[in-house]
């Protein structure tokens, strides 16, 4: 008696004990109502009752023979098993106060957490204090890698003086180390409390007021970060040297 087996292969990739794994399942024609009538052979190996093969060796040209109790054997189409390198995570310094998490291996489609906070696919993190930071990456198969490292926070840098003499060195005054504060602004005052400049990130004070050079002396600043996560202000003074 002829039967229609029509075997099809379904491949599922997973992570078992944090290592890449695969599960190959054979499905057959709906006309096969008694699964005990079939057994299965992978790549010409011994037959087994289960239609599931676990951790098939990565490579190309695999096949599964499906045998019916009536002696009929039908073969699946050839299929390939993808190999995955172990998932590895490294942490490195980026721009100032940045952590860059680099994942390699695994199945890709990485998602990251920093100290338990989900960042999705974002792998660059901004820190606001010194400490040990732990990053975890998960790939699409569910494999996980974790790395921890101490990172030093660098606060904004406020110069003590500047020399606006046109020599190309310290000709303008502005706070530095502010790449992650795009809304920063600052005011400058003279010794009498008169506001002589209001500037934003990317601008520098040239030592002038209404186009006129101001004399050597101390000047005061108020720097505002205007950041939703860090709304500090800094007040102090610096010196203009002519």
User: What is the arithmetic mean of pLDDT over 13-32?
Assistant: 93
DSSP state of 176: B
The count of structural domains within the chain is 3
CATH of the domain at 109: 2.60.40.1080
- Do residues 13 and 76 both lie within one domain? yes
Q: Are strands 98-104 and 195-200 parallel, antiparallel or unpaired?
A: unpaired
Give me the percent of the chain exceeding a pLDDT of 90: 95
pLDDT (tens digit, 9 = 90+) per residue, 40-65?
999 999 999 999 999 999 999 999 99
- Do residues 146 and 167 both lie within one domain? no
Longest dimension (CA), the chain: 107
* Summary mean pLDDT of the chain: 96
Could you tell me if residue 67 is inside a domain?
A: yes
DSSP state of 13: E
Which residues touch 17 (CB under 8 Å, ≥6 apart)?
A: none
Could you tell me if residue 2 is inside a domain?
A: no
Phi-psi domain of 91 (left: phi exceeds 0; alpha: psi -120 through 50; beta: other): beta
Of the residues 114, 130, 151, which one is the last residue of a structural domain?
151
Could you tell me if residue 39 is inside a domain?
A: yes
Could you tell me if residue 1 is inside a domain?
A: no
| pLDDT above 70 (res 68) | yes
- Sort 150 into a burial class: Cβ within 10 Å, 0-12 / 13-18 / 19+: exposed
- Do residues 73 and 103 both lie within one domain? no
For the CA atoms of 219, 222, 225, 228, the dihedral, rounded to the nearest 10 degrees, stands at 180
- Do residues 95 and 145 both lie within one domain? yes
Of the residues 61, 81, 101, which one is the last residue of a structural domain?
81
Could you tell me if residue 3 is inside a domain?
A: no
- Do residues 131 and 172 both lie within one domain? no
Domain that holds residue 48: 8-81
- Do residues 44 and 72 both lie within one domain? yes
Evaluate whether 111 touches 138 at the Cβ level (below 8 Å): yes
- Do residues 195 and 127 both lie within one domain? no
- Do residues 66 and 98 both lie within one domain? no
Residue 125 sits at the vertex; the CA angle it makes with 124 and 131, to the nearest 5 degrees, is: 135
pLDDT band at 2 (very low <50, low <70, confident <90, very high): confident
- Sort 70 into a burial class: Cβ within 10 Å, 0-12 / 13-18 / 19+: exposed
| pLDDT above 70 (res 1) | no
User: What is the arithmetic mean of pLDDT over 179-191?
Assistant: 96
User: What is the arithmetic mean of pLDDT over 168-194?
Assistant: 96
Alpha-carbon distance of 181 to 97, in angstroms, equals: 11
pLDDT (tens digit, 9 = 90+) per residue, 76-95?
999 999 999 999 999 999 99
Alpha-carbon distance of 182 to 229, in angstroms, equals: 12
Q: Which of 59, 73, 141 is nearest to 103 (CA)?
A: 141
- Do residues 173 and 220 both lie within one domain? yes
Query: H or E segment at 129?
Result: none
Q: pTM for the full model?
A: 0.78
Alpha-carbon distance of 13 to 212, in angstroms, equals: 71
Could you tell me if residue 20 is inside a domain?
A: yes
Could you tell me if residue 220 is inside a domain?
A: yes
| pLDDT above 80 (res 3) | yes
- Do residues 147 and 165 both lie within one domain? no
Alpha-carbon distance of 60 to 12, in angstroms, equals: 16
Of the residues 32, 63, 81, which one is the last residue of a structural domain?
81
The token pair that represents 31 in the structure block: 């006309």
pLDDT band at 17 (very low <50, low <70, confident <90, very high): confident
- Do residues 56 and 122 both lie within one domain? no
**How confident is the model at residue 42, as a pLDDT?**
98
One DSSP character per residue, 22-34 reads EEEEEE--TT---
| pLDDT above 80 (res 235) | yes
- Do residues 53 and 112 both lie within one domain? no
pLDDT (tens digit, 9 = 90+) per residue, 128-173?
999 999 999 999 999 999 999 999 999 999 999 999 998 989 999 9
CATH of the domain at 21: 2.60.40
Could you tell me if residue 156 is inside a domain?
A: no
């Amino acid at each position: 008696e002829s039967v229609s087996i029509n075997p099809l292969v379904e491949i599922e990739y997973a992570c078992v004990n944090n290592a890449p794994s695969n599960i190959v399942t054979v499905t057959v024609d709906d006309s096969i109502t008694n699964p005990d009538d079939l057994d299965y052979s992978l790549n010409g190996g011994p037959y087994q009752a289960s239609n599931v093969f676990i951790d098939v060796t990565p490579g190309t040209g695999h096949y599964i023979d499906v045998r019916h109790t009536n002696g009929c054997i039908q073969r699946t189409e050839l299929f390939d098993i993808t190999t995955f390198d172990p998932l590895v995570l490294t942490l490195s310094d980026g721009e100032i106060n940045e952590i860059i998490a680099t994942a390699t291996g695994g199945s890709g489609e990485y998602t990251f957490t920093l100290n338990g906070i989900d960042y999705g696919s974002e792998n660059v993190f901004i820190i606001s204090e010194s400490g040990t930071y732990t990053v975890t990456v998960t790939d699409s198969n569910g494999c996980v890698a974790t790395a921890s490292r101490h990172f030093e926070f660098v606060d904004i840098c406020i110069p003590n003086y500047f020399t606006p003499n046109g020599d190309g060195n310290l000709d303008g005054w502005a706070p530095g180390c502010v790449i992650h504060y795009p809304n920063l602004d600052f005011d400058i005052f003279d010794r009498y409390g008169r506001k002589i400049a209001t500037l934003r990130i990317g601008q520098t004070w040239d030592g002038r007021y209404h186009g006129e050079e101001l004399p050597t002396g101390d000047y005061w600043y108020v720097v505002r970060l205007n950041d939703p996560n860090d709304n500090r202000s800094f007040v102090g003074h610096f010196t203009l040297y002519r």
